[in-house]
Amino acid sequence: MLLLLLALVGMNPGFATAQTQTSREYQLKAVFLFNFAQFTHWPTNAFTNGESPIVIGVLGIDPFGDVLEETVRDETVNGRKLVIERYRRLEEIQSCHILFISQSETRRLDRILESLRGKPVLTVGDIDPAFGQHLAIRFLPENNRLRIRINIDSVSDAGLTISSKLLRAAEIIPPGKAP
């Protein structure tokens, strides 16, 4: 919970260069991804066995660098290790629980989401609102702060449950309200 609160504090670019600001933005997003693992419940069939890791994947051009690995190093959630995987193509994804879809995949987003429909994958991204409405969770940089928007229909379609703690910290798209 502490990491979630730290991430919600926001970004203050006052002392930062553009590159440092971008780096800080993705540090915060990495913390959010870790917290999403803590506050999401997957059905048991999402895992091969009781020791299978929670896989956080990045599809497309990776904006995180080493930050994502550093954030989850030696961390566990409900006794499961966290593993980072990177994918250039959708077809490479075998087992993934949280999928960050990079902005480089904007043009293919509809096809990506269609191929994941009904699978227990929490889709996350910072793709433009005109394209990213059907992501389960979308990052919203706004006024030097980082907020999240959760699409309840997308979460439900994936068979996932999000903790009320995370829902309280987010802007919610209620069922049936996504464009």
CA-to-CA separations, 104 to 6, 48, 49, 127, in angstroms, rounded: 28, 30, 33, 9
Q: Is residue 26 part of a domain?
A: yes
Q: Is residue 178 part of a domain?
A: no
Q: Is residue 76 part of a domain?
A: yes
pLDDT at 6 over 90: no
Q: What is the CATH number of the domain that holds 54?
A: 3.40.50
CA-to-CA separations, 158 to 26, 90, 119, 140, in angstroms, rounded: 25, 17, 5, 22
Q: Is residue 68 part of a domain?
A: yes
In tens, the pLDDT along 66-104 reads 999 999 999 999 999 999 999 999 999 989 999 999 999
If you count them, how many residues does the chain have? 179
Look at the chain and report how many structural domains it folds into. 1
Q: Is residue 23 within 8 Å of 58, Cβ to Cβ?
A: no
Percent of the chain with pLDDT over 70: 84
pTM of the model as a whole: 0.86
How many other CB atoms are there within 10 angstroms of residue 166's CB atom? Answer: 19
Instruction: Quote the domain boundaries for residue 157.
Output: 2-173
Q: Is residue 121 part of a domain?
A: yes
How many other CB atoms are there within 10 angstroms of residue 175's CB atom? Answer: 11
- Say how far apart CA 28 and CA 71 lie, in whole Å: 10
Q: Is residue 179 part of a domain?
A: no
